[in-house]
Structure formats: C-alpha cells, structure tokens
Amino acid sequence: LLEPSKSKEEEEGDQPQEEYNCFCCFFLVEFLRNLFSSALGLGSGTGEKVLDELTLDGVAKYMLSGKCKNIICMVGAGISTSAGIPDFRSPGTGLYANLQKYNLPYPEAIFQIDYFKQHPEPFFALARELYPGQFKPTICHYFMKLLKDKGLLKRCYTQNIDTLERVAGLEGDDLIEAHGTFYTSHCVSFCCRKEYNLDWMKGGIRRSHFPLKMLIIIITDIVFFGENLPVRFFTSMKMDFPRCDLLIVMGTSLQVQPFASLVSKVSRNCPRLLINMEKTGQMDPMLGMLGFGGGMDFDSDKAYRDVAHISTCDDGCLALADLLGWKAELEELVKKEHARIDGDDKRKTESESKGASASAKASPTPETKKEE
C-alpha cells in the first residue's frame, strides 16, 4: 500500500525522528556486534604491528613511509585552550569549574536542552563570551590544515563548537562537527527551518539585539545534552573509520558518548596516537562490550599500536612536525595566518568605526529652544 502524501510540515518534522532512529540503531548494532564477538571469540587477538616503535618517532616514520594516506583526527576542547577558550573539565580552570555566576543547579545544565528551554539566559550569556570571531586558531588547528594540504587528512571529527577548524582552513567536507557548531543557526519551526549565517547570529548575541524568546526559536546549530547527534556523524563514521590508517586523538578526555567510542572503529592494524595532557581512552571491559570506550592500550605487554604523547596539543603537534621535517613550514603557516586574521580584524574595526561616525553625522541635531 502506498502511504498518503505528507505535507511540507510533516516531511520537515520527520528529521528529528530520523536522527533518533539512526542513534538507536547505532547502539543496538554495536551492542549486538560486541556481544556476539565476545561470546564466540570472534575478532579476538591483536592486529599486525605497523609501527617500528610505540613512540612519536615511530609514528613519524610511519607517516613518511608512504603507507599512511588516510589520517583521521579526533579532537576536543584541549586543542583550543591556547587560543584562550577554556576546556570543560580541568579542575580550577575548566569551563564547568567557573560557572558559579550563572546560578546553575549543576554545571552541565548550561548545555542541557530541557534546562535551556526553561532558562536560556545562562547559555546566551556564555555564548557572548565564547562566540567565534574573538579567538585565533592554534598550532594544532594549523597542523591539521597542513595534513589536508599534503593530502593526508581523511576527516577531522571534532567535539568543538568554536569553528576554529574552519577559520584555520578546513572546509565543510573535511569536518564532522559531532556536537554541532556556532557556524550556522536555524529557525526551529518545522514550517520555516530558515538558516542564518554566523555574522547574523553573532551580531544579535553580542549586542543582545534579539529578545530571548526569538533566540530560542532561532538557535545555533550546536548539539545540547539530550539531543541527537547529526545524522552525518553516523553515516560518515561508517565510511571513514574502516579506511583509516592512522588515528590522531588530541585534546579530549574521551568521556562523552558516542564520540568517545570512535577510537574503536578503526581496524585492528591501525595505529592510534593520543596527544593529550593525560592518558585516556583505555578499555573498560563492560563499556567495551557495549561498544563504548575504545580499548586503547599504552602500557601492557600486549600493546602494539597505541602511542601516548603527554603534552599540550600545540607542543605535541610541533614535536611531530619537527620529526616529519615540517616544523618550519608549520610555524610559517601559523605566523602568516595570524597576521592575516589581525589585518582583517583591523580593517573591519576601522570600517565599523567609519560607519558609526557617518551615521552620527547624518543624524539630525535636536534644536535648542531659544530664549524669548
């Protein structure tokens, strides 16, 4: 039987359901796959050892061997801290540790969709502090741009919403913005769905130009806790990770699912490099069976492909670039691009200043009442 045709509103209303179905299917398939693999002993054992040594130098030699052609980067808030954007969980300096002024019931509430619908003020106050255009990409961002320029970057999967990957030169097809982005906004009404660009939304948020009721209707395309990840996250993951021949994980605690589970989606032969301030992503037996976690193994006798470089993301990328013979090229790229951004900001400020001055001159001066 043919289904009755749907109205435009009904078709647009199917999108959240499609995302929900995709989300549920992902976890069901992963649970069953891992359960049967564990019960039947399938997929046990280790893969082929690709790296000569489990060090940053071993990773660099592999990258220069010609065998490494599809690199996936997984990145989190740690790659943007040197730009002045706080990460989430660092004690004392992290975002969650400095939200007292918003009087939240608990720190994570600021990014929870149900709380936002009732109390949008804290989120938009925070958005004014963190909105794109105030920060420049870091060395780590430009290292990924260098990977792209050399034809090695398959994709960057980012948890960040700050758009600095785009500012550094990565384009839409290079990116999976797993937790959404400030780059675009849209009307949430099913009969509208109009998209708004970054400049339009930034102007309203920074100047408090829009009433909060309007901002709830026209909302940035970030993913709140309690919302589904973009469908593209799941479809691209299925295509990208089986083809990956080097996974570079930077600046993430790997605590938020399903993003954290991506480290387990590469083949058993694929080396995995972690550049972070601490080791993370090690296997938890129960989470592993559920398809979560990732089972990174840095220290056991069975370790054969995982490398942990404990440093800031910028220092780690500079060290790797040095071993690859790219350090001078990377430093020059950062210098050139930062100078370009500073120049663009200066011209924009001058233009806005001239516009404001011209507007003030054009405004009629109120006449003063003459004394009789």
Q: Is residue 39 part of a domain?
A: no
Q: How many residues does the chain have?
A: 372
Its pTM stands at 0.73
DSSP string across 40-65: HTTT-S------SSSSHHHHHHHHTT
Question: Residue 109 corresponds to which amino acid?
Answer: A
Q: Is residue 317 part of a domain?
A: yes
pLDDT digits (tens, 9 = 90+) for 310-369: 999 999 999 999 999 999 999 999 999 999 998 987 887 777 677 666 666 666 555 554
Q: Which two tokens stand for residue 219?
A: 């909302």
According to the annotation, is 278 in a ligand binding site? Answer: yes
Active-site residue, selected from the candidate residues 119, 141, 179, 186: 179
DSSP lists the bridge partners of residue 177 as: 158
pLDDT of residue 10: 42
| CB distance 75 to 250 below 8 Å | yes
Cα dihedral angle (335, 336, 342, 344), rounded to 10 degrees? -170
Q: Is residue 60 part of a domain?
A: yes
| CB distance 324 to 56 below 8 Å | no
DSSP lists the bridge partners of residue 72 as: 155, 247
Q: Which residues of the chain have pLDDT under 70?
A: 1-46, 87-98, 128-133, 181-227, 284-294, 352, 355-372
Please confirm, yes or no, whether 179 is among the known catalytic residues.
yes
Domain CATH code at residue 144: 3.40.50.1220
Q: Which two tokens stand for residue 188?
A: 């949430």
Domain range spanning residue 327? 50-85+138-179+233-342
Residue 45 CA, distance from chain mean position: 32
pLDDT of residue 351: 73
Q: Is residue 1 part of a domain?
A: no
According to the annotation, is 77 in a ligand binding site? Answer: yes
pLDDT of residue 43: 46
DSSP lists the bridge partners of residue 221 as: 181
User: Is 71 in a helix, a strand, or coil?
Assistant: strand
According to the annotation, is 252 in a ligand binding site? Answer: yes
According to the annotation, is 80 in a ligand binding site? Answer: yes
Angle, to 10 degrees, between the axis of helix 139-149 and the axis of helix 313-324? 40
According to the annotation, is 162 in a ligand binding site? Answer: yes
Residue 367: other Cβ atoms inside 10 A: 6
Q: Is residue 93 part of a domain?
A: no
Q: Is residue 329 part of a domain?
A: yes
- How many angstroms separate the most distant Cα atoms in the chain? 103
According to the annotation, is 57 in a ligand binding site? Answer: no
What domain count does the chain have? 1
Q: Is residue 63 part of a domain?
A: yes
Residue 151: other Cβ atoms inside 10 A: 9
DSSP lists the bridge partners of residue 291 as: none
The whole-angstrom separation of Cα 238 and Cα 316 is: 28
Q: Is residue 205 part of a domain?
A: no
Which residues touch 162 (CB under 8 Å, ≥6 apart)? 80, 83, 85, 130, 132, 135, 182
